[in-house]
A = this chain, B = another copy of it.
Amino acid sequence: MRLVVIGGVAAGLSAASRARRLDPSLHITVFEKSPHISYGACGLPYFIEGQVRSLDQLRVYTPEYFARERNIQVRTNSEVIAISHARRELTLHGGERVPYDKLVISTGARRDLPLQDNLFKLDTWDDAERLQAFLQQRKPKRAAILGGGYIGLEVAEALRAQGLAVEIHQRSNDLLRRQDPWLTALLAKHLERCRVTIHWNSTAAPGADLVILAAGMKPNTKLAADAGIELGRTGAIRVSERMETNLHGVYAAGDCAETTHLVSGRPVWMPLGTTANKMGRVAGAAATGARERFPGIVGTSIVRVCGLGVGLTGFSEAQARREGFDPIATSVQALDKNRYFRGKPVHVQLVADRRTGRLLGGAVVGEDNVAGRANVIATALHQRISVEDFANLDLAYAPPFATVWDPLLIAAQQLDKLLH
């Protein structure tokens, strides 16, 4: 049995590794079109910022490691240009044909970058090398970032840390794609304090020495679609809970695939490293016949914005309304620890459905302990908790760690009151 994996970053290598662990006899080959595999792409902004000294620090494993330790053949600089499922065969750039029995597609996402000397993106190892070289050689003074999603904000922080003047051009009037005026106002104010200028409803950046394209990410599905693999309504590859596509024995995982949003029960495309790894694991297991499943996500993400942690999960109020809920939201600001332990303000927003009292989403913004609090909301969302039950959560308290009424519980009490 031959398992072939297309794509050698998060999802692809998770799939290959999981398959190997479950089936020592499988022949496993991974094709990666670029020269680089197995690196933490989420760390690229911190390379530009300087926290990561060398891209090598982001590398997890080498092709040699995979060959030696996991008996997985990894071929870099090898682009798959066609899949013929009828013949169970791939065609590589250059013409080589490669047979498979099982196939995992993890072609990721893409951003179309017009060829232009001072225009960059920051999605891959090569992108980071090119941007870094430009920064060192050309010493640009003014950077414009197109897009106010998490990559845009991470790059803004990185370039500010490098001393550049930074402006963000956002085509909407919203940050982080939450359609959340509360969150956008909070972040805009903070960005202003960090001297990042935001231009709303703007797609052009005249006069910048350097432009970063941080908008327009799309699932990279052309190869799959050309092979007759069905896409979902999100535009990404439609998969089952076992990551199988409409073609038997062909799986998709990672940024090229859609999944289920467990709060709405509907398909969603949200390309993130954690999800890619989980999907990859399940795809790899499925390729060996094991019956693992990946039920979906609740839409959790976190981003550091000029030192401020921003954790988001579930739906914002506007998103929830668009999904057919009757949402109500509230937010509180409270200290995350007692004053004598130098507690810092944390903002918590919770969203619930008026009809059912069910929690639908939340946001946590602050300097400390943001991930932990966002994760509590995320965990509750997985289980379709009510706001009333959320307000009774038995959360840990001791003065070095929290306040006796955690800001999460204060927000839940306030929201529960609004629901009655």
Interface residues of A (CB under 8 A from B): 10, 40, 42-43, 46, 51-53, 57-58, 150, 154, 262, 272-275, 277-278, 294-295, 297-304, 309, 311, 313, 338-341, 369-376, 378-380, 382-383, 385, 389, 392-402, 404-405
Nearest B residue to A314 via CB reads B394
**What's the nearest-Cβ distance from chain B to residue A23, in Å?**
15
**What's the nearest-Cβ distance from chain B to residue A13, in Å?**
12
Contacts of A399 in B (CB 8 A): 40, 42-43, 46
Counting every copy of the chain, the complex holds 2
By Cβ-Cβ distance, the 5 closest A-B pairs, closest first, are A372-B372, A383-B383, A302-B396, A371-B401, A379-B379
Which residue from B294, B303, B340, B369 sits with its C-beta under 8 Å from A371?
Answer: B369
Contacts of A394 in B (CB 8 A): 262, 274-275, 297-300, 313, 378, 382
Which residue from B52, B303, B372, B392 sits with its C-beta under 8 Å from A295?
Answer: B392
In the complex, the answer to whether A396 meets B311 with C-beta atoms within 8 Å is: yes
Contacts of A275 in B (CB 8 A): 394
Which residue from B40, B295, B309, B341 sits with its C-beta under 8 Å from A401?
Answer: B309
Give Cα A380–Cα B262 distance, bound, in whole angstroms: 15
In the complex, the answer to whether B378 meets A380 with C-beta atoms within 8 Å is: no
Contacts A46-B340, A309-B401, A385-B383 hold; do A300 and B395 have CB atoms under 8 A apart? yes
Give Cα A369–Cα B404 distance, bound, in whole angstroms: 17
Most B CB contacts (10 A, CB to CB) among A40, A297, A340, A379 go to A379
**What's the nearest-Cβ distance from chain B to residue A389, in Å?**
7
Q: Other CB < 8 Å A-B pairs besides A46-B340, A369-B371, 14 of them?
A: A42-B399, A43-B340, A46-B399, A274-B395, A274-B397, A274-B405, A275-B394, A295-B392, A302-B398, A302-B401, A372-B373, A372-B376, A379-B380, A382-B392
Contacts of A311 in B (CB 8 A): 396
